[in-house]
Structure formats: structure tokens, C-alpha cells
Amino acid sequence: MKPTLRFSGYENEWQKLTIDQLYIEVIDGDRGTNYPTKSEFLDEGDCLFLSAKNVTKSGFEFVEKQYITKDKDAALRKGKLLRNDLVLTTRGTVGNIAHFNNSVEEEQIRINSGMVILRNSNPNLSNDFLYKSFYTGAVTRHIQKVLFGSAQPALTVGEIKKFKIGFTGIEEQQKIADFLSSVDKKISLLKEKHALLTQYKKGVMQKLFKQDIRFKDENGNDFPEWQTVPLSKLASKNSKKNKDESVNTVLTNSAKDGIVNQGDYFKKDIANQQNLGGYTVVEKNDFVYNPRISELAPVGPIKRNHIGQGVMSPLYTVFRFKDDSLLDYLELYFNTTMWHRYMHSIANFGARHDRMNITTSDFYALPLPIPSEGERAKIVSFVNALEAKVSAVKQQIELTQTFKKGLLQQMFV
């Protein structure tokens, strides 16, 4: 068997052998009486003790860390990593893999019982190549086949030893691994660029709405001072109910994605389609406040409806601005945290801590900073240009990831 895409000069047939036949040791994580208790995990220590959060689809992720002492490390029998070991998750989120190579700064690492170590002692098998092999369709399909029908997915050591890995000569293996590593490096750099641009955009928006950054008019003169206007003066409440149930497109307000079709977003209809009479009819460019608190929206999100006519839960507050020239500007403003302090100041946190409890009058008293129309246009244009750069980098990431996926399908058997 041969892959469809190869480097020039290589014509030999590939082989497929199991993990066991390739002399790859499968080592289970630590468990039993010496397993660290909750109080024995530290924010700092001698040995990093991996949790499932540390091994993702993209490799190691060390945002959250837990450590154990040198004495506790010495009391454990197995699960200690050596350089070039692979770590594979076997419970919960199954099949994530990471490579403990020289790019990992941590020196002492152990794994828990929800993972295994793959330790390669075969001189004819590159560790980098083996790592990349676990992202190919052949391995992922085998994992899914083993897990199919299980209420609590888990991989056993026995099943892992049956995994078949296609391989070629060591020189070609390394060429493949190096090439894919260069693609991974490009993806990593693009992600870093995207994160920096996103953070820069967020910081600039805060400065714009705090008026730390101001624009000049076409003649180089200052724009007029901003006014602070309550929401009630700029918008009217939309209370139109779907009494005849003529509208059956149910929309929802997502903190992450804004106003979306409920059926598409949740892959099922949450609302009772037979009882939409009490729902509010919303139109395109209406703004919607969802009082539900989340990590992304600590006071609940306010989002603009770009979809069109639909109905929304009466739990939401729907309002419509009287001046269309405010829409783009205020959509940007509600995507900042500038208005959060006011919402916290008027909220009455009752029995439900996951929802803001705000009176209608207090909500519509929300003070909004309003610059002149000319300065609003400049703010919107500037932020949109930044957003275009962020989106362009995001698209580059997606295209490069798709390119990598194609390589994995064509460069392996």
C-alpha cells in the first residue's frame, strides 16, 4: 500500500502494524491508594500532574495547572513522562493526544488514570511521525468504532494495542513529520496573531467609548462633545405579541453568536411550536436583551437582529431605535463592557443567580454615550476595518487547518 501524496524519490510500499507489533509500550496512569487527594494538589510544585483539560485536540494546553510535591511524586508507581512520550486521553473526552517533546517547558510531568502513555522504543519509528499518525482518519475511525454504543466512552490498554499504524522508512517518516510540523507552526503563529488582533480590537474599542481616542472631522476640527442619553429617549419597547401565531420562526439570543434561529442553533426546537401566541414578534434591526448570565455575558447580552422577522421568548426585552443612524454604532457599544457597571448597579439578585432581575424602568434608564453622527461614522468605519483584519486571519487559520486535514488524508495510509 502507498499514500496518494509522497515526496519525490520514495516508491516503497508502506506497512501497517499494530501498536503492540511496533514495540510501543502502553502505560496506564496513576491510580490506587497513593493517588493524590484534592488537598495534595498545589498551584505550584515539583511535578505537574496532568488533568484531562491539559490534553486537547491540538496537543498540550497549560492554562490551568496542578502540581504535586517531590515526595508525593516519589510515592507513585507509574505514569511519569519521559521526553518524546505521547499522552493519549482514554476516558471522558477520548482520543486527544499530546507529544512531550522539547517544545514543552515543563520538566517533571505525571498523568492521571484517564490517560495512557505511549512510549516508543522502536528505532525505526519516528516519535514525531507516530504523533502525527494519531490525527489520521484510520486511527480516529478505529477509536470511534471501539467507543460506539458506550454510555461512558473509554479506551482500554488492550484496545489501544490493537491500533494499526501505517509506516514507511525512517527517512520518509521524518520528512512527513517535519513538513506537517511546519504547517502546525504556521497555524500556531496565525492563532497567536488572531489573539493579539482580537485583544487589540477589544482595547481600542474600550478607549473609543471612554473617549480616550477621539477623531477629527474632515477639516481637522474637533467633533462636538458627546451627550449621555437614556435608552428610553432613543428607543421604544417592542411588545407586539404573536397573537394569531402567524409567525413561527423562533429566534434566540446567544451570547456568543448573537440572534440566531433556535432550531438551527440547538439542532432542535426548544419552543413549543403549538404555543407561540405569547411570544414577541421581532423585526430586523430590533435589539434584544437576554437577562441570562453567562461567562461570555456577565450581565446578559444585548444583540441586534440581523436575521429578519421571527418570534422570541417573552423573557427577553426587545426594543427598537428611532434613528437608524445609531444602529451600527450602538451595536458596537453593546459588544463592549462599558454598560455593565450600570446593569450591576440596578440589578436585584433574587432567588435565581443565573438571571439579571431588572425593572423595566431601570433598564430603559440605561445611559448611552452618543457622539455626533460624523464621529459615529468614523468609529464604526475604524472598528469595522479592524474586524475585517481579525476575520481575514481567522479565515487563514481555517484554510490552513483544512489544508492540513487534506495532507493527513493523503500522506498516510
CATH number for the domain harbouring residue 385: 1.10.287.1120
Query: Domain with 305 in it: what CATH number?
Result: 3.90.220.20
Q: What is the pLDDT of residue 52?
A: 80
Instruction: Say if residue 58 is in the same domain as residue 85.
Output: yes
Q: What is the pLDDT of residue 350?
A: 54
* Residue 377 domain-assigned (yes or no): yes
C-alpha cell at 103: 517544545
Q: What is the pLDDT of residue 148?
A: 60
Instruction: Say if residue 24 is in the same domain as residue 159.
Output: yes
* Residue 2 domain-assigned (yes or no): no
Instruction: Say if residue 258 is in the same domain as residue 385.
Output: no
Confidence of residue 20 (pLDDT cuts 50, 70, 90): very high
Instruction: Say if residue 263 is in the same domain as residue 195.
Output: no
Selection from 168, 173, 171, 123 nearest residue 1 by Cα: 168
* Residue 76 domain-assigned (yes or no): yes
Instruction: Say if residue 398 is in the same domain as residue 288.
Output: no
> Could you read off the pLDDT of 86-126 as tens digits, one per residue?
999 988 788 899 999 988 888 899 998 889 999 999 999 99
Cβ of 217: how many Cβ atoms within 10 Å?
Answer: 13
Mean pLDDT of the region 389-411: 96
Distance between CA 374 and CA 76 in Å, rounded? 68
Last residue of a domain, one of 168, 185, 201: 168
Instruction: Say if residue 44 is in the same domain as residue 144.
Output: yes
> Could you read off the pLDDT of 182-225 as tens digits, one per residue?
999 999 999 999 999 999 999 999 999 999 999 999 999 999 99
Q: What is the pLDDT of residue 149?
A: 56
Q: With DSSP H G I counted as helix, E B as strand and the rest as coil, what are the percentages for the chain, rounded to 5?
A: 35, 20, 45
Distance between CA 130 and CA 410 in Å, rounded? 16
In sequence order, the 6+-apart residues with CB closer than 8 A to the CB of 78 are 27, 28, 29, 30
Instruction: Say if residue 247 is in the same domain as residue 313.
Output: yes
The proportion of the chain whose per-residue pLDDT surpasses 70, expressed as a percent, equals: 95
Give yes or no for residue 283 having a pLDDT over 60. yes
> Could you read off the pLDDT of 37-81 as tens digits, one per residue?
888 889 988 999 998 889 998 899 988 899 989 988 888 878 899
Domain that holds residue 340: 227-369
Classify the C-alpha dihedral 277-278-284-290 as positive or negative: negative
Q: What is the pLDDT of residue 330?
A: 98
Distance between CA 248 and CA 310 in Å, rounded? 7
Q: Are 110 and 81 in contact (CB under 8 A)?
A: yes
Q: What is the pLDDT of residue 151?
A: 66
Q: What is the pLDDT of residue 352?
A: 58
Give yes or no for residue 248 having a pLDDT over 90. no
Q: What total of structural domains would you count in the chain? A: 3
Q: Which helix (H) or strand (E) holds 117?
A: strand 115-120
Give yes or no for residue 345 having a pLDDT over 90. yes
Last residue of a domain, one of 168, 185, 203: 168
Q: Which helix (H) or strand (E) holds 302?
A: strand 302-304
Q: Are 127 and 101 in contact (CB under 8 A)?
A: yes
CA angle 347, 348, 350 (to 5 degrees): 140
Instruction: Say if residue 153 is in the same domain as residue 188.
Output: no
* Residue 160 domain-assigned (yes or no): yes
* Residue 6 domain-assigned (yes or no): no
Give yes or no for residue 392 having a pLDDT over 90. yes
* Mean pLDDT (the chain, rounded): 90
Instruction: Say if residue 207 is in the same domain as residue 259.
Output: no
* Residue 284 domain-assigned (yes or no): yes
Selection from 183, 182, 167 nearest residue 10 by Cα: 167
Instruction: Say if residue 232 is in the same domain as residue 353.
Output: yes
258 or 269, greater pLDDT: 258
* Residue 35 domain-assigned (yes or no): yes
Give yes or no for residue 271 having a pLDDT over 80. no
Instruction: Say if residue 20 is in the same domain as residue 153.
Output: yes
Q: Are 24 and 124 in contact (CB under 8 A)?
A: no
Instruction: Say if residue 127 is in the same domain as residue 157.
Output: yes
Place of cell 440596578: 346
> Which amino acid appears at position 102 of this protein?
N
Q: What is the pLDDT of residue 266?
A: 64
Q: What is the pLDDT of residue 245?
A: 85
Confidence of residue 405 (pLDDT cuts 50, 70, 90): very high
Cβ of 173: how many Cβ atoms within 10 Å?
Answer: 20
* Residue 60 domain-assigned (yes or no): yes
Choose the weakest-confidence range: 127-141, 310-324, 328-342. Answer: 127-141
